[in-house]
Structure 1
C-alpha cells in the first residue's frame, strides 16, 4: 500500500494526517513546527511515504528543506487551490485541514510550488527590507507635510535631499512646532541612512549576479528590477517555455468561458506581486523615459496610441517578462536595431 501525508503548519504546532492509497486515515497527530520534530514523527509512523504535502507559507521553505534533507518526499503546494477545497468545510480545524491536504496529495489535486534556493531567498529579503525602509521614509514625509498644512505651512515640491531644510525653514519661527517636528526629521534621516546602506548592497548583489548583468542591457531595466526578476524566477529551467513567465507573474488576462459566454477580463495578478510591479515600472520607463528606439518600444508606443498608456505598459511588461527569460536561458544580451522606429 502507498501512503501519503498532509501537514497543516502553524507557528508553534503542525497537524499531521497520514492516509493510505484507499483514502483511509492511518495515523493522526500533532508535533512542533520544526523539521527535526516532523521528521521524527513521520519516521515513527513506520511507513514509506509517496508524497508529503504542506501549504506554502512563511515556514514552508525551512520545513521543506529540512524534510527533503531527511529523505522525505516533501512537496510545497499552492494555497489558493487548497482554500477552494476546504471552503466547503462546516467545521474548519487544523486537524481537518491536515486531512484535506492529505487527501489532495493522495489524488493529485494540488499545484506544486517552487521553493526558491537559499541565495534567492536571501536576496529577496534584501529587496523587501529595502522597500520597507523606503515606504517608512515616505510615510514620515507625508505625515510631516500633512501636519504642517494645518498651520498654513506648505512644504511644496521639493527634493529628497532638501526636504529637511525646507521643513526647518518653515517652523523656525515656532519653537513648539520645531520641537515636535525635529524627532520626525531625525527618524527620517536614520531611515535614509539605512536605506542607502541596503541600496548599496542591492547594487553590489547586482554586479556579482551573472544573470543581472545580462538583464541590465534591456532598456528600462535597472538594478532593482533586474535583481527582483532574477530572484523571482530563481531557476530559468523551471519554465519550459519563456511565454509561461508572463502568466506566472499574473500579466495575462483572466478568461471566462461557459456555454455561449467567452470573454477575457483584466490581468489575473497572480504570482509574485513584487516582480509584477517591477516589470510594470520597467515597461513604463522604457515607454516614457528611454530615448533610444527599439522594436519593443516601437511596438509599445504604437499600442499606446490605440489602447492607452496603461494597457500598453502592461503589455510591454508581459513581453519584458518573456524577453528577460529568453535572454537568461540563451545567454544573450539585448540587441538594438534601428535608432528610429519604422513608423516614426
Structure 2
C-alpha cells in the first residue's frame, strides 16, 4: 500500500526514538554532581567561547563544557557552582573575567601565560586540553602557574587613558615619517621641526602636485596633535584628583606626569613588594640568570613585566644623563 509523502513522513516521525539528553547537560541542570566535592576549575579563555574543566579533590574530571566569553554567559554558568578554585591564563579577557569570578565568590588564580610550559610548549594543544591542564596544575600546586595579580577596574581605566595616548603618538609618528618619505622620493623635503609642530603649512613650498597628496596627511597629523593634548589634560586631572603620590615622583629629574602616573598605576599597591629592589625585578630590569655548576654567564636584563613602563623609565634615564 502506497502512502502520500506527508503521511509517510508523519509515520516515520511517530516511530522515531526521542533524542537522549547529554549527560553533561543533565549534570549542570541538576547541579547534583558538585555536592560534597572540593572543586578545581580550569578555564581556557577564547575570544568568543571558552572551555572549562571541573575536577574533584581526587583529580577526576566531573565536567568539561564550553561557555560564551561574555559577562552574562560566565555569570549564568559559574554562579550556580559552589565556591571553587578557578585557574585561567593571562590574556585580553582575563582582567574582567577574574574580577567577575571573584564577585561570584570563587577563588581565582591568574596564570602567567608564558610560564606555563605544559601549555605553551605542548605538542598536543587545544582549548579543551589546555583547560584540563590549568585545572590539574592549580589542584597540585598553584605556584606552578606563576600567578599574577590584575589591577583594579579603576586603575585599569586610568591606565587605558595612557595607552590610548600612546597609540595616538605611534600613529602620528608613522604619518610624519610617511609624509617626509613621500616628499623625499619626489626630490623635495619638508622643513625640519618637532612632531608637535607639524602642520599643513609645511607643504607650502612643495610642488602643486605633491602638495595635494601630502596635505591630507598633514591634516590628520594636526588632528592627532589635538587629540593628544586632550589626553594630556585628562592625565593631569587624573593625577591631581586620584593619585597625590604622582607629585612626589615628579620631583625626580626627567620624570613628568605621564611617567609618574604610569609608574603608580602599574605598581598600584607598592606594599606587595617586600623590598624596593623587587620593583626592578617586577619590571624586568634585573639581569637574567642561567647558572650551571661553575658557569655563571653574564645575561641581559630579563625584560619581563610591563614593556611600556620600562620604555618610559629608560627615557627618563636618558634625560637625566643629558648635560
**TM-score after normalising by structure 2:** 0.83
Unpaired runs of 5+ in structure 1? 290-344
Give the corresponding residue for 2:20. Answer: none
Give the corresponding residue for 1:61. Answer: 95
Contact 2:87/2:108, CA 8 A, preserved across alignment:
yes
How far residue 192 of structure 1 moved from its aligned partner, in angstroms, is 0.9
**TM alignment of 1:69-148, pairs within 5 A:** 69-82=103-116, 84-108=117-141, 109-148=144-183
**TM alignment of 1:15-26, pairs within 5 A:** 15-26=51-62
Contact 2:51/2:67, CA 8 A, preserved across alignment:
yes
Alignment CA distance shift 1:110-1:119 (3 Å): same
| 2:287 is aligned with 1:253 | yes
Contact 1:53/1:105, CA 8 A, preserved across alignment:
yes
3-state secondary structure, aligned to 1:5: strand
How far residue 151 of structure 1 moved from its aligned partner, in angstroms, is 1.8
Give the corresponding residue for 1:190. Answer: 223
Match of 1:224 among 251, 255, 258: 258
Contact 2:176/2:195, CA 8 A, preserved across alignment:
no
3-state secondary structure, aligned to 2:193: coil
Match of 1:177 among 201, 204, 210: 210
How far residue 180 of structure 1 moved from its aligned partner, in angstroms, is 1.3
How far residue 38 of structure 1 moved from its aligned partner, in angstroms, is 2.5
How far residue 19 of structure 1 moved from its aligned partner, in angstroms, is 1.2
Query: What's the RMSD between the two structures over aligned residues?
Result: 1.8
Contact 1:164/1:185, CA 8 A, preserved across alignment:
yes
**Structure 2 CA distance for aligned equivalents of residues 59 and 123 of structure 1:** 18
How far residue 48 of structure 1 moved from its aligned partner, in angstroms, is 4.3
**TM-score after normalising by structure 1:** 0.78
**Structure 1 CA distance for aligned equivalents of residues 51 and 124 of structure 2:** 15
After superposition, what is the alpha-carbon deviation per residue over 1:58-110, rounded to whole angstroms, capped at 9, x for unaligned? 1111111111111111222211112x112453321110010111111111221
Alignment CA distance shift 1:162-1:131 (3 Å): closer
**Structure 2 CA distance for aligned equivalents of residues 4 and 19 of structure 1:** 5
How far residue 259 of structure 1 moved from its aligned partner, in angstroms, is 2.2
Unpaired runs of 5+ in structure 2? 1-36
Give the corresponding residue for 2:47. Answer: 11
Give the corresponding residue for 2:23. Answer: none
Give the corresponding residue for 2:300. Answer: 266
How far residue 22 of structure 1 moved from its aligned partner, in angstroms, is 2.5
| 2:267 is aligned with 1:233 | yes
Give the corresponding residue for 2:276. Answer: 242
Higher relative contact order (CA 8 A, sep 6+): 1
**Structure 1 CA distance for aligned equivalents of residues 112 and 181 of structure 2:** 42
Contact 1:145/1:154, CA 8 A, preserved across alignment:
yes
How far residue 250 of structure 1 moved from its aligned partner, in angstroms, is 0.3
Contact 1:202/1:224, CA 8 A, preserved across alignment:
yes
Give the corresponding residue for 1:30. Answer: 66
Contact 1:120/1:231, CA 8 A, preserved across alignment:
yes
Counting matched residue pairs gives 284
Give the corresponding residue for 1:2. Answer: 38
